[in-house]
């Protein structure tokens, strides 16, 4: 998996996902790939400080509970979701993946269902780990309300980041 990287040069970070009793954790491997690069104490501290954020984002993306096989994303759905997060349209994704736009649209519908997202923005926000809870549907049909909720989520993260920087 790591080619010529020696086990002693590998930095591993482990952090529980949600309730530790559920037995799920996030494992991150960091290895130097540039010739002569080494892992030092700074790398260890950076990984240790970022693991809680990585774990919280992973938990948002995969959910609090283990998902049954019916909620797992297929490889093609993962590819489509990645392209959506990069801002590509269904037509562009179809061209990139050499599929029909109708097939890509079917994958997008499946993603909406599996990720419990009712809009493209909500789908992308959930995929990027910005949105844990479903959008409040009481404002159904009012796009500005959904956009406002997404903006509040993102602003809340910005406020938390600003507060952390001050501390």
The pLDDT, as a whole number, for residue 71 is: 64
- For 56, the domain range is 7-62
Q: pLDDT band at residue 97, thresholds of 50, 70 and 90?
A: very high
Residue 143 is classified by DSSP as H
Q: Is the pLDDT of residue 21 over 70?
A: no
Residues 46 and 74 grouped into a single domain? no
Residues 96 and 152 grouped into a single domain? yes
Token code pair at residue 29: 């491997």
The percent of residues above 70 in pLDDT, for the chain, comes to 67
Report the Cα–Cα distance between both ends of the chain, in Å, rounded: 39
Residue 112 falls within a domain, yes or no?
yes
Q: pLDDT band at residue 98, thresholds of 50, 70 and 90?
A: very high
The pLDDT, as a whole number, for residue 134 is: 52
């Amino acid at each position: 998996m790591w080619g010529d990287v020696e086990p002693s040069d590998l930095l591993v970070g482990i952090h529980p996902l949600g309730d530790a009793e559920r037995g799920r954790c996030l494992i991150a491997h960091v290895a130097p790939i540039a010739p002569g690069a080494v892992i030092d104490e700074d790398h260890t501290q950076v990984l240790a400080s970022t693991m809680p954020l990585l774990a919280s984002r992973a938990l948002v993306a995969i959910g609090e509970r283990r998902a049954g096989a019916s909620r797992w994303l297929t490889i093609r759905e993962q590819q489509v979701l990645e392209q959506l997060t990069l801002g590509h349209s269904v037509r562009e994704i179809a061209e990139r993946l050499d599929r029909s736009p109708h097939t890509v649209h079917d994958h997008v519908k499946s993603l909406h269902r599996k990720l419990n997202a009712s809009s493209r923005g909500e789908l992308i926000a959930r995929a990027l780990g910005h949105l844990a809870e479903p959008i409040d549907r009481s404002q159904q049909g009012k796009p500005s309300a959904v956009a406002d909720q997404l903006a509040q989520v993102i602003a809340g993260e910005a406020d938390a980041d600003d507060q952390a920087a001050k501390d």
